[in-house]
Each structure stands twice: as structure tokens, then as C-alpha cells.
Amino acid sequence: MYSLSSQKKFWTFKTEQELAELRVKQNVRFITKHGAGMTDEQKQAHFLSADEERLLLKQYELQLKEFCKRFEPPMPKYVVGTAFHYFKRFYLNNSSMDYHPKEILATCVYLSCKVEEFNVSIAQFVANIKGDRGKAMDIILSNELLLMQELNYYLTIHNPMRPIEGFLIDIKTRCNMSNPDRLRPGIEDFIDKTFLTDAPLMYAPSQIALAAVLHAASKEQENLDSYVTESLFGAAKDKLPVLIEAVRRVRSMVRTIELPPKDRVRFLEKKLEKCRNQENNPDSQIYKQRMKKMYEDEDDLDVMGSSYHMNVSDANLDVSQLNTTNPANMTVD
């Protein structure tokens, strides 16, 4: 139930300003840590600003959408929705300069598949990725625990898909609309667009679902105002103003989506490659050395464990030999 969920308690925010402040905080924290000794002018030239990070993340949200759209086998909408939630949440607590979005994006989708029980193996998953699939597999698996930690292990997501089905059934029952299922294409298109906004971080799934239904109805020249005011909230009209404002804001956010300019994105991509944290860059020597040391430490632990088991086995063997070769040592008083 959403009203009692971790999503509502920890991951639903009141204003866009609150979200902007969290993103600026992560940007400032990264620059402060990695820009020590630089002048303000040097920092500005070298690092991404909070606005630049936001623009770049919007581009990666578009890529996330396209990746899920062409995924084989076809990916259910609720899996896509969960992946978007993970991606958005992760970058409220982290800078894109610390963890590259292209790597976190794939990990978000993979974790979403597992949590939502859309059963694909890691081999099936990376078959949808272009380029070095072995490397992609290593990156996804090495980032999976990090992602869960940054989400504070709150992995259950309430998406608007279930409320949408509820509204459509209710409309069929209590409205005179002919064939409410013709609203589905408009609803799905609207929901896809909400994933490119901050609406999932600000509004309840039922509010987003109702905004999608009303939007699709208006496209079909249908008016559901009386359904909302009389059927849905006839006995709770005091809650109506809050709902109307939420629906209005969600529809406004979808209507004002701006796609990032391609030339600007290319410039920011190059800038990110120069200023990103090399400790988290799989192509850097620092990262490779760190991973090599980690594997060596694991090997050392395995050797120690094997040695321990051998010693225990040897000790048992000696005791057994003592008891069988020297029965005279056994005395009964």
C-alpha cells in the first residue's frame, strides 16, 4: 500500500526546489572534494555545474527509455517504471561525475528486472547491450550492491500501472463512455513522458494515473469531470482541491518537457570524461589496480580458508590414528 510505503515516507518530495537543492548539494560535495587547490574559474571550466549535470542526466533518461523499448524479450511497463525510479533516486544522493550515468543506467534496469521478477539472466540482459558484453556484465554486477546501498535497500516501487487498470475498470462500470480501452494509447504515451520528469518523485502513483487518464480522455474528446467530482470524490469533496492541483502540475510537467540539445550534450559528455572520478572509471588504471587488489585479497582469504580446513582435517586424522593404533591408551577405571 503506497500510503504506508517507504516510497511515500522516504522518496516522495514536496517541491521541485527540494529536489534541485539535493542535486546541487551532491554537485558541490564532489567539486569540493576533487577540486581542492583550484580557483573558482578553474573549477567552473573543469567540472560540470549542477545545471549541466541535470541536462546530461535527462539525456540518459532518454537512453534508458530507448534501451527498455528495444529490449528483448519485451519489457513490461512496470519494470521500466521501477528502473526510472532507481535511476532518479540514485542521482539525488550522487553526482554523475562520481558514477557515470551510462553504467548506473544499465545496473538500474538489471536490478529492476530482478526485483519485479522479470526473469532474464545476466547473459540475456547483456545480449541487449552493444559493444563489449563481458565488460558490461562486470560493470553491472560490480555496481549492483552499490546501487542497492544508495537506495537504502528500499527496492519496492509503486508504479501508476495498477491504479490505471483500476480507473479503467471503474470507468467501464460507472461511466457512459463507449469503449474506455481506446484511452490506452494516450495513457501509455503520457506515462512514458512522466518518466522524463520529476513527477515520480513528487506525486502518488494514483495521482499520476488519474492525470494520464484525464489527458487521454481529453485527446479523445471525452469529459470525465463529473466522474472525478461525483463518482470518485462525491463523499470526500474536501480532498478534491489537492487532487486537482496535483493532476494539473503533473500534466504541466509533461507538457513542458524539453529535450536536451544534441550539440550541448556532446560537449558535456566530453567534459564529463575529463572530470569524472577515475577511481570509478572501469577504463582507468586506478580502477583496474583497485579491482586487481580486491581480487587478490579475496584469493588470499580463499587460501587462508583452505589452509584452515586442511589443518582441521589433519588434526582429525591424527586423533583417529592415535585411537586405533594405540588402544592400550584407552583405560577404564
**Which tens digits make up the pLDDT trace of 242-288?**
999 999 999 999 999 999 999 999 999 999 999 999 999 888 888 77
Residues 183 and 139 in one domain: no
Task: Flag whether 197 is in a domain.
Answer: yes
Mean pLDDT score of the chain: 89
Q: What is the pLDDT of residue 308?
A: 46
pLDDT band at 290 (very low <50, low <70, confident <90, very high): confident
Q: What is the pLDDT of residue 285?
A: 84
pLDDT band at 331 (very low <50, low <70, confident <90, very high): very low
Q: What is the pLDDT of residue 295?
A: 64
Cell reading at 302: 580463499
Question: Residues 6 or more apart from 204 whose CB is under 8 A from it?
Answer: 2, 8, 12, 246
Cell reading at 236: 470526500
Ramachandran angles phi, psi of 97, nearest 5°: -75, -20
Q: Is the pLDDT of residue 187 over 80?
A: yes
Q: What is the mean pLDDT of residues 1-28?
A: 96
Residues 166 and 236 in one domain: yes
In angstroms, the CA 61 to CA 102 distance is 10
Q: What is the mean pLDDT of residues 74-84?
A: 97
Residues 36 and 170 in one domain: no
pLDDT band at 15 (very low <50, low <70, confident <90, very high): very high
Q: What is the pLDDT of residue 237?
A: 79
- CB atoms inside a 10 Å sphere around CB 146: 15
pLDDT digits (tens, 9 = 90+) for 189-238: 999 999 999 999 999 999 999 999 999 999 999 999 888 988 888 777 78
Residues 45 and 180 in one domain: no
Q: What is the pLDDT of residue 230?
A: 87
Per-residue CA distances from 67 to 62, 71, 237, 319 (Å)? 9, 6, 42, 62
Number of domains in the chain: 2
Task: Flag whether 7 is in a domain.
Answer: yes
Residues 152 and 176 in one domain: no
Query: How many percent of the chain have pLDDT more than 70?
Result: 88
Q: Is the pLDDT of residue 32 over 60?
A: yes
Q: Is the pLDDT of residue 326 over 50?
A: no
Q: What is the pLDDT of residue 238?
A: 81
Residues 146 and 188 in one domain: no
281-289: list long-range contacts, CB under 8 Å, 24+ apart: 281/100, 282/103, 282/135, 282/138, 282/139
Q: What is the pLDDT of residue 324?
A: 38
Task: Flag whether 172 is in a domain.
Answer: yes
- Judge whether 184 and 192 are in contact, CB under 8 Å: no
Provide the H-helix boundaries in the chain.
6-10, 16-34, 40-46, 50-69, 77-93, 101-115, 122-126, 133-150, 161-174, 184-194, 205-219, 225-226, 240-255, 262-275, 285-325
Residues 33 and 145 in one domain: yes
Residues 140 and 105 in one domain: yes
Q: Is the pLDDT of residue 95 over 80?
A: yes
Comparing 23-37, 46-60, 81-95, 273-287, the range with the smallest average pLDDT is 273-287
Range of 176's domain? Answer: 160-256
Q: What is the pLDDT of residue 314?
A: 44
- CB atoms inside a 10 Å sphere around CB 316: 10
Task: Flag whether 316 is in a domain.
Answer: no
Question: Residues 6 or more apart from 197 whose CB is under 8 A from it?
Answer: 250, 253, 254, 257
Q: What is the pLDDT of residue 317?
A: 37
Question: Residues 6 or more apart from 174 whose CB is under 8 A from it?
Answer: 227, 231
Q: Is the pLDDT of residue 333 over 60?
A: no
